Chains A and B, each alone.
Chain A
Amino acid sequence: MTALFTIILSFIGALVCGLMPAGAHHRIRWVALAFAAAGLGVSTVCCVNYSGGEFEDFLEAEWIPSIGISFVTGYDGISLPLLLVTGLVAVCGVLFSWTLESRANQFYAFYFALIGGVYGVFLSLDLFLLFVFYEIAVVPKYFLIAIWGGARRQFAAMKLVLYSFGGSALVLLGMLAVFFLAHDASGEALKTFNLLKLQQGQVPEADQQWIFPLIFVGFAIMAGMWPFHTWAPTGHVAAPTAASMLLAGVVMKLGAYGCLRVAVGLLPAGAQDWAPWVAVVAVINIVYGALVALKQDDFKYVIGYSSVSHMGFVLLGIATLNLTGMTGAVLQMFSHGVIGALLFALVGTVIYSRTKTRMLDELHRLIDRMPGIAWVFIVAGLASMGLPGFSGFVSELYVLIGAWGSLSGWIVGGAGLGILLTFGYTLVKIHEAFFRERKTSDPGDAEISYPAMTLPEKIGVAILLGSALLIGLCPWLLTDKISLSLERMLERFPN
């Protein structure tokens, strides 16, 4: 029951913030911070209490028995890191929106509705319930982007929502097929959406062949899978900072989590047959995302495409279908959630609010003019690049080792190329933004030095960078839990 409070608190938070008067943004942000922190607290408690392997904090109740729908929640080692990252990003999102004044009550209403949906997905153990939460998380994104976003926000918001619902349409179809086709050992139809019961039974192998791509692609659209990734950069760029942190930090993980928990978890035979294709697409994601990031002029687009590239590692990890690779995938979800959110916060709020531009050719020698912020960004950029000591290094290493074990050498080579390209664009873009002299000289402008980070920004940076560092140094804090639960999932694989 403990974990359920993350969902309940978020929705109560949405209601409370929404009902507060619009002018009271000073009070609203404290209320929002309190609710976000409470959510983080609950997920931390869950994480600390969790012992291993099985589902804990299990809750099962009848909901709509006439169509086989029950209310089942619980978490295991796969959902825990994601609960944690949701809590972290939710708190930091509030911190980095500290100065938001326009329609603050509505902003946090949508913000918490989104977070509640995300927590719900990670905790649901009933396919229908999971889908409901998954869809609940979509609509608030539209409003967050369309109301508070930047340039081209209407377009970006609509594109993001249509892509999301396109994905859910595929998932829904696959989900209904699983419901009707799954049977138990004796061949009797299960007719249930309960994930645990579905895992006990199985879907006929011939049907897994076509259901797996439906569900996998449906979820992977939200994970930014090539060629359906284009919503991600435009959406991230147009979104207000807190929303782009959530988008990159947790919403993309919803998709990856769905791929892992539902597509791979329920359809192992389908997963085995399709894994090589998934791996190919994942490598395209890694390499293509990095190449496109290299060519961007807008700092936020660079981060947007780097997200696409990093999500490729998650997909690659899932495609390995072995313990090491999949552990890496889950760890990469955590890692990119934290670091991606940090990068978006730095570019979208910390740098942009001072320079009023995100175009790389207009930024120049920021290292002199905002040294503190510049060094924080450089550290974050290196963390994203996979510097040892940060979580990104560990997770990508796990994924590559896993891929070496089960996928062809070309795939691993491609991923290695992707890592080199990641080094390339990270260093090039850091150079362009922080060290390069501006081509057109405007002597007056170059003298301006910018104010240092505010306290909320400092706290936010400390939380996100600290957790990336902590997991980078002590990955066993999470990997132990992740791999115990993944073992349970892999036990059910044929052969």
Chain B
Amino acid sequence: MQIDKSLPVALAMIAVSLLSSLAAFAAVGAAQQAVIDHYAAAAKAADPGFKSFSADRGHAFFLAKHDANADTPSCSTCHTADPRQPGQTRVGKAIDPMAVSVNPQRFTDLEKIELWFRRNCNTVLGRECTVLEKGDYVTFMASQ
């Protein structure tokens, strides 16, 4: 009887420890994936034909030049053309790299992401970004 009772407990403990080590292994990029999933759901709601985000489109968007603001024509004006490198604000303050591979904290906090998309899209494009642009951008940065 004693064995019957302790066996399931032991099995459960093994299962928990296996699952937690798996979770630790999968944690890289999980937070970013949750953000991408959030934007994908919104994109699907806006356009039933939406398939998936594109890192290539995100890359092109990151480098694209706009004419809303001569001081900040592109995302890459401050972030540089290589998102693995640190950027610089217009008054010389360093900006941590955007690429998730060198800065795993990037794109893990939706509130922070939305704050900076709102402000920087208004600054660079003169309008808010679309869900597709945001999703592509995060997908690109998560791939870098």
Do A and B bind? no
Query: Which residues of A does B touch, CB under 8 Å?
Result: none
Query: Which residues of B does A touch, CB under 8 Å?
Result: none
